[in-house]
A and B are shown apart, each in its own frame.
Chain A
Amino acid sequence: MNRKVFALAALVFALWLPQLWAQQVQVEELVLENGFKLLLVPRQGDPNVAAGWVAKVGSANERPGITGISHLFEHMMFKGTHTIGASDVEENLRVMERMDEVKSQLFEEERELIRRLRLGEISDLKDPDNRSPRHQELLAEFEELTKKEAELLVKNEFDRIYTQGGGSSMNATTNQDFTLYFINVPSNKLELWFWMESDRLLNPVFREFYAERDVVYEERRLRTDSTPTGKFREQFESMFWTSHPYGWPVVGWPSDLDGITREEALDYYALNYAPNNLVACLVGDFEIDRAKELAQRYFMRLQRSKRDPEPVRTREVDQQAEKRMVAYAETNPEVEIRYHTVAAGHLDDPALTVTGALLSGRTGRLTKSLVLEQEVANRASAFQRGMKWAGYFGLGAVAKPGHDPKEVEEALYAELEKLKKEPVGERELQKVKNRFAANNFRRIENNFFLMIQLLIAEANGSWQSFNENPKRVQAVTAADVQRVSQKYFKPEQRAVALYYTKAAEGPEDPLLAGLSQEEKNMVNQIKSRVAQMPAERVQMMLSSLEAQGDSMPEPQRKMAPIIKKMLQERLEKLGKEGGQQ
């Protein structure tokens, strides 16, 4: 490598780095009297405004019984208002009321079924044969009401108006701490955005509530139930958090999705969607004064709630012992490790973020060590994730075929131990900081992405952290990295998931009959290793197996003939290949 080039590059960086991280996004902040906050970032460019707002509420604010309501609510915010979405809103509301009545009677019936399920009297809640005649009648009435509601609706009018207006990328997203609604509008349609968003905050109507609950259930099936590892990741998440509500899934537990009522959604709205819990952000081609005037006119219609929503009370308790799960799934063998660390904005957050970057990427320590040098993994990375109330440091790696995830796990720990023992090199640290510095430009290129980031920063604390964090990252020292590694990477602070590949469907290899699942997996691991062994190695193993004979302990003795057979097959194969050459 050309050393001179290196030295020159380092010099150049030393000269202009300070300006790089001083790169600031100038945000004009406006707070209305009712508490509604607006962040304004006008930018020259294409005739468009990226517009969004965030409600500072997510699944962490839920409670058992209504898990998933934040996300379901997000869906309901697209169902229209008193003005939009129905041809006859009064009649529509009457039908909805009757639907709620029927639903609450249906819940009584369902509760009875759930009781019987609990006692083992029935095995399927959805089986029509288990329903009472009353239950069937109510279902029929509900179906009638659904049809009646459909006749009164102007289908998805909320969406239609935006679509006609040239709005694009309209969507929303919910996570543990916030719910974010966003869209792009042509710059001449700024007022449309103010109209639509203030209207749905002021007068929402949760139409098609129960059908939408089913849609959310389909979303759960799509992302969690019907993916190879979705259910396992959900279990890992709930295992990792002992007391904190981060443990339940954002999409909600199935039982709760089946049970949430429209009334619960209304209570949730009254508390969490008051203007004092909302922040909006505009980035793009607009005039500040005009936006301020529109904000006054439209968002001042919202009433501040009597009290502010309370912070999440339940904090994570200190973990006392390592948590572990071993999964057999249709996935590559892999390991996931998480340590409890700190929330976003914590003083140690930047050092942990830098630590993640030191370990990750093409030239990160994990790729260099686990993937390229030791060749025990095919992929490895690490990151700090600080959320609003708590955070964690995650490490993940996919084992190379022939290597047990446990082996990879040990290799990951070895890297963490190095971080604890020796300070990272100056150049290595500078490289990571250079990347953060350049990314400070890349992250503000796109208006839409900037809008989202400012709102997330605001939801986690304050938008100012968007400008402050880069400075804090650049200030991280080698000693900081060492200190946080020592402080957080302790066995009792972690949870570990080991994934093994679930045996394929179909007839089982007769060789494996009589073995436990773990033994089968062990055999499969050995098998893939044997498949890559050179002849001498195979011969050596064979001799050693034979030499041990009956002196082997019981579990191995059971597998010895199987392994022997594999080795012999490998030898035969190698012989054939050799013969052909």
Chain B
Amino acid sequence: MNRTTDRRPEAVNRKPQVGMRPKGSKATGTPFQSVLPPSGFRFPVSWFASLALAFCLLVSGAGLLAAGEESNDKQIPAHPKEIAYPALDYQPPQAKEYRQVLDNGVVAFMVEDHNLPLINISLTIRSGAYLDPQGKEGLARMVGSVLRSGGTLKWSAEEFDEEADFLATNIFSFGGSTASGATLNTLAENLDQSLKMFFEMLRRPAFQEDRAELYKSQQLQQMERRNDRTSSIESREWGRLLRGSDHFTNRQPTKASIESITAEDLNAFHRQYYHPGNFILAISGDFESADLKQKLEAAFKDWPAGEKSPPVPDFDHTPQPGLYLVHKPDVNQGRISLGHLGIRRGNPDRFAIDMMNDVLGGSGFTSRITNRVRSDEGLAYSAGSRFTVGLHYPGQFRASFQSKSSTCAQAAQIILEEIGRIRSEKVSQEELDTVKTATIEVFPRRFSSAAAVAGTFANDELTERDPDYWQTYRDKVRAVSIEDVLRVARQYLDPDKLVILAVGNVDDMQAGHPDRPQYSFSKLPGGSRPATIPLPDPMTMKYPQQ
């Protein structure tokens, strides 16, 4: 029931956040303390100091405060712009302060945070669906998942699960598209045993047969549902239109490919890619870095680093502009995407593009598309645009919304107008200032917790980002001018290249709204000859011949 607030999908770090203290600063009392003295349990901060603080809080929290007791003479400003704010000087943390290199060469970012007796270890692995052999689509994800559920050579799956649950340790692993990973969240007290289990899983997984079969059964069952949700259809077809069906991002697992995966496939994939040469660690929480480093080195002992995984492949495809339709008769709302390819990392215009897109549709209620499609016309619950920066292959520009079938054409037309407008007129100084200030002000949120700091730097390490990137980030945003915005809008938004995808009840969408005959699918670019995309067989991903 939320209002939509996918406000800045690129800029906001959505990781869980932990109260974080800058490294080196002295621990002070937090209000989160046990009321009882600790026994057999190392408390993270000076216990007496914090007890004293907690006590003060309790006493002063006397409750009812009668009005008039405090003088109310301070004025309430007539408008928030008249409020005087204290200065906030914020400097982002530096990767080098946390970067540790283990004796086997694995890089680990360790960010201590002694507020709570928890330790979080997040391992990123250079593995993913891009490494799936032809005909074995789904292998990387299966390895990532059954790694955790399938037990180890030492512990059966049942024993492993029981032990982890009894220790209240959360161990998780996953296979992704271009990266995979595993995480460990443990009470500090249980670190040794948890770490032992974590490494046992990483080094000697058993991929137990019944668990592998269960995984397959779950996958095949989900596969049957591929054509049910318009949202899944939309994202699948959008990917195919932009990057072509041959790119690994669009090579879907099929019944045949999942069924063909053998125990040996799992083991071989694991041997080839799950080794220290492909690992990066992000660690946060209640530990001493030197001590933990030793423990990790011991855990890694005699585990040779293999060859680093090959780079993620680009695609060889030129999207064909036009209007594409997918028919789903039972829904009363259509889902529409409009867009084309975007840019790659390293493009010096990315900050100007970010600001341009924030004004256009990337900044929620302060952006034009949301204002017009949602607030003015009430045509959609969520409407906006993204302009992404690709790492291994070009990103994309994509505007999207969902609207009742009869008003899909109208909302699409509004978006086309807005794309046209931002390419032909300068944005106002106020619009630009709003998105710039917002980006700069919200910047510290990226490092809002120890886990976020470690995670950001680990990701930078994985993607070989310029170490100065965050140090100069806000200056680069500040430097964007109105002229820059107009220039990049003209250079990077191209109405002639727009791919438009509509998923929903095509008959109703094409019929339009009886009160607004001026809007119609036929008037959209490519609307005179729309292409229909049929639904594929969900188990084979074969598309019927048209």
Contact = CB atoms under 8 A, between A and B. Distances in A.
Contact of B83 (A46, A160, A191, A446): A191
Nearest to A171: B5
Interface residues of A, number: 127
Contacts of B79: 83-84
Interface in B372-419: 374-382, 402-404
A4 to B, nearest CB: 11
B221 interface: yes
B441 interface: yes
B76 A401 contact: no
Given A47-B444, A127-B514, A300 B375 contact: no
Interface residues of B, number: 123
Interface in B19-39: 19-21, 28, 30-36, 38-39
Given A29-B63, A211-B378, A219-B381, A445 B363 contact: no
Interface string B142-185: 00000001000001101101111111110000000000000001
Nearest to A228: B228
Contacts of A195: 76-77, 80, 83
B1 A33 contact: no
A372 B442 CA distance: 47
B537 to A, nearest CB: 10
B61 interface: yes
B407 to A, nearest CB: 9
B65 A30 contact: yes
Nearest to B210: A372
Nearest to A371: B214
A132 interface: no
A31 B61 CA distance: 10
B86 interface: yes
B85 A188 contact: yes
B441 A159 contact: no
B1 A186 contact: no
Interface in A217-238: 217-219, 221-223, 225-228
Contacts of B441: 164-166, 186
Interface stretch (A18-26, A107-115, A481-489, A538-546): A18-26
A505 interface: yes
A20 B247 CA distance: 50
Given A30-B65, A215-B380, A218-B402, A160 B365 contact: yes
Interface string A427-443: 10011001101110110
23 contacts: A12-B190, A15-B41, A43-B31, A127-B514, A159-B366, A163-B438, A192-B85, A218-B379, A218-B381, A219-B381, A221-B332, A221-B404, A228-B225, A250-B1, A293-B70, A293-B74, A362-B161, A363-B162, A431-B166, A435-B168, A437-B168, A444-B116, A449-B16
Given A172-B3, A218-B333, A226-B504, 13 more contacts: A18-B36, A19-B36, A25-B32, A28-B57, A30-B61, A43-B31, A48-B444, A186-B88, A189-B85, A221-B404, A223-B1, A296-B72, A446-B449
Interface of B: 1-3, 5, 7-8, 12, 16-21, 28, 30-36, 38-41, 54, 57-58, 60-61, 63-67, 70, 72, 74, 76-81, 83, 85-88, 90, 115-118, 149, 155-156, 158-159, 161-169, 185, 187, 189-190, 193, 210, 214, 217-218, 220-222, 224-225, 228-230, 329-333, 363-366, 371, 374-382, 402-404, 433-435, 437-438, 440-442, 444-445, 447-449, 504, 514-515
